[in-house]
Amino acid sequence: MIIANISTPLLGLVDTAIMGHLASANFLAAVALASLIFSFLFWGFGFLRMGTTGLSAQAFGANDSLELNAILARALLLALTIACFILVMHSAIAHISFYLINSQKLIEQLAQQYFFIRIWSAPATLCQYVIIGWFLGIQNTRAPLLIVLTTNCANIGFDVLFVVHYGMNTDGVALASVLAEYIGLLISLILLHQKRPHSSGLSLKIILQFDKIRAMLLINAHLFIRTLCLIFTFSFFTVQSEKLGTLILAANTLLLNFQTFMAYALDGFAHAAEALVGRALGAKNKHLFRQSIKTTCLWAVCIALLFSLSYAFAGQTIINALTHLSEVRRLAYLYLPWVIALPIISVYSYLMDGVFIGANLSRQMRNSIIFSLITTFLPIWYYTQFLGNHGLWLALSAFMLLRSLIMLAYYSAYQRKRLPELVS
C-alpha cells in the first residue's frame, strides 16, 4: 500500500514539474486552483473508499461472503449515483467554485479549461474508490497496487505526451487524468471479476436492506463531513496563498507536494490498520487488534522520521527539480523548515484515521477534525496574518498536531471500553 500510495503524489510531482517548467507560473497556479475544486468533489467523496474498507474488513473477519458482496454492490450503487449528480450539476459547481475562489482573470480561465475536461472522470474515479476500499477490506493489497500504479503511470505517460510532445498546457494535464482514470476502472473491473468470492443468495432485496444501507450512509456521512473539513483546511491554505501573491501560491504548491507525498506514504500504514483492525474486531481477536496497532504505529513513526530527515538534507534539491523559476525557488527555500517538521507533527493523525476507520469510529473522526479546525487552524491563521505566509504554515502545523492529540485521547478511551469484549 505504501508503493501504491506513493505513486499518487508522484503523479502530483510530475504535474507540478511539467507545469513548473512552462513559460509562466500562471499554469502552475491554475492547476493548483482547479485541483482545489476536485479535492472537494473527489477527495470529498473519499468516504466511498474508507467506509467500504471498514465494513468489508469486519465482514471478512466474520467470514461472511454474502455480506461482503452486498457491501460492494451497495457502495458501487452509491458511487454511481453521486457521479451522475456531479455530471448533471457540473456547470453550476464550476460557477459557484470559481466565484468563491475569485482569482485573477487569466489564472481562472486556465483553471476552467482544466475543470471542464477533468470533470468527466467522476464515474471512474468514484467507482475506483469503492473497489480499492473493498479489496483492502478483504486484505488484498496487490489489487489496489495494480489499479493505482496502472492509473498513475498512464496519467504520467499521457501528461508527457499531451504537454511535452503536443504542446498543450492545463487542458493536456486534465485530459491525461480522464483517460487514465477510465483505464484504471477497466483494470478494477477485471480484477473484481477474478478475485470476488462467490456466494449464493445475493439478491436485490439483500443489497437494498434498509438497516444496512442506513448504517452505511450514517458512517459515510460522518466521514464526508470529516473529509470536507480536511479539504477545507488545505483549500483555505491554497486560497490564502493566492491572496499573498502568485509567487507565494506557486511556492506553497511546490511545498504541499512534500506534505502530500509524506501523507500518502503514511497512509500505507493507515490502510493496513483499517484492514487489520476491522478484521480483528470482526473476528473478536484481541491479540490481532493489539499487534496491529503496535506494528503500524512503530513503522509509521520511523517512516515519518525518515521523511523529515530526507526533506532536511534534500529539500532544496527537490525544489530545484520541480521548477526553474528563481523567485519561486527562493520562496520555497524560505518556508521549507515547516515542511521538514510536519511529518513528525502529523504522523499520529494519519495513523489514527486508519484505526478509527477499521473500528467504524467515524463520529469520533468527525468530531476531532471539526474541533481542531474551529479552535486551532482558523483562529491561529486570523491572529497571525501579520506573519504572512509563516502564519499560514503555523496554523496548518498546529491543526495537524491537535488532531493527533485528540484522536490519541479518543483511542485510549475506546481501547479501555472495547478490548475487554474481545476474545484473547
Q: How far is CA 419 from the centre of its chain?
A: 30
Neighbour tally for 195: CB within 10 Å? 13
Specify the DSSP class assigned to residue 165. Answer: I
State the Cα–Cα distance between residues 75 and 72, nearest whole angstrom.
5
| Number of domains the chain is built from | 1
With a CB cutoff of 8 Å and minimum separation 6, the contacts of 267 are 1, 5, 350, 353, 354
Q: Note the pLDDT of residue 31.
A: 75
In 3D space, the residue among 322, 298, 422, 259 whose CA is nearest the CA of residue 17 turns out to be 322
- Pairwise CA distance, residues 167 & 379, whole Å: 44
3-class SS at 378? helix
d(CA 264, CA 289): 23
Residue 45 DSSP class: G
pLDDT at residue 200, as a whole number: 65
pTM: 0.77
In the predicted model, residues of the chain with pLDDT beneath 50 are none
- 3-state secondary structure string across 331-352: HHHHHHHHHHHHHHHHHHHHHH
Distance CA 250, CA 27 (A): 10
**370: three-class secondary structure by DSSP:** helix
Q: What per-residue confidence (pLDDT) applies to 148?
A: 87
C-alpha cell at 203: 439478491
Neighbours of 255 (CB within 10 A): 27
- b/e 283-307 (16+ beta carbons within 10 angstroms → b): bebbebbeebbeebbebbbebbeeb
The pLDDT score that the predictor gives to residue 40 is 72
Q: Are 129 and 49 in contact (CB under 8 A)?
A: yes
State the Cα torsion 265-267-269-274 to the nearest 10°.
-160
- Can you give the pLDDT at residue 98? 81
pLDDT at 105: 75
Residue 174 domain boundaries: 2-421
